[in-house]
Amino acid sequence: MQITFENIFIHSHVAAENSLYKHYHFPEMLSRYDSNYIEFKTFPALEEFKEAERYLRDFHQKNGQKHVKFKFPVDEEIPAEFVNYLNQKNYDIGFLELYGIEPNQFPKVKDHPDIEVQIVTEQNLKAFLALQYQQDIVFGSNFAQQKVELNKMIFEDPKFMQLLALYKGTPAGAVDVIISEDTAEIDNLGVDEAFQRKGIGSRIQKFVMDTFHDKTVILVADGQDTPKEMYKRQNYQYLGYQYYTQKVED
């Protein structure tokens, strides 16, 4: 099957839609930029973008949100006039990359006696939530606490599997796996800084490959961050890109 960004799960709801864009809104976690944004179906004219910008800013201000974020059409470069405008308005510009792999193509990874990967259950949920909170607190206590509530919602959702990795018995890494008929999506993969470079991330992924050996494993990586180079070394195939822009306003 052909994998596209349409296969990626979005923690959000469609608040409004027209021929030009979809407006995603997630009242369960207003501080999560990746859940509250406008995604354009086709590239707007600059004046159309400015109109959408005013709409989203007003909508977010009414909800106490201080950011605006926009995603652009998949596999299309941002026109120069847009780049100039966004730079003038102090937007950050970035891009996402989509990757996929058939589990039998993932490199061989030996078991390690110090590393154990567990499915999150009632017995280890508290440890999972504590690790996630520790990683999210850098974005502020409000964000971290809202993320705890989101993780509790995910725990109750049968479309998800949460995994916790232990290093010598200490929680060290975690991931969400979003399960569909044809794909298993790796999301929110993270390893505590104190336990990095020990092979924990690879063993979490190997657990996913073994568990969902009959599905295509997919993920989205920050196009400007280093983990995508790891995915390439692990035989993930590049499937496309998407530009976005965002800024936080006072």
- Residue 244 clears pLDDT 80, i.e. is over it: yes
The CA distance from 115 to 204, in Å, is 9
pLDDT beyond 90 at 118: yes
Contact between residue 200 and residue 165 where contact means Cβ atoms under 8 Å apart:
yes
* CA–CA dist 216, 209 (Å, integer): 9
> For 215-239, what is the mean pLDDT?
91
Instruction: Please state the rounded mean pLDDT for residues 215-238.
Output: 90
Going by pLDDT thresholds of 50, 70 and 90, the confidence category of residue 189 is very high
Q: Which residues contact 59 (CB under 8 A, 6 or more apart)?
A: 15, 23, 25
State mean pLDDT over 89-118.
96
Nearest of 138, 191, 195 to residue 164 by alpha carbon: 191
User: Model confidence at 249, in pLDDT bands (50, 70, 90)?
Assistant: confident
Task: Tell me what the mean pLDDT of segment 158-185 comes to.
Answer: 97
Model confidence, pTM:
0.94
Mean pLDDT of the chain: 96
| pLDDT one-digit tens code per residue, 3-39 | 999 999 999 999 999 999 999 999 999 999 999 999 9
Q: 109-124 b/e with 16+ CB inside 10 Å = b?
A: beeeeebbbbebeeee
Cα distances (Å, whole numbers) of residue 81 to 55, 77, 95, 111, 241? 21, 12, 18, 52, 20
Look at residue 166 in the predicted model and tell me its pLDDT.
98
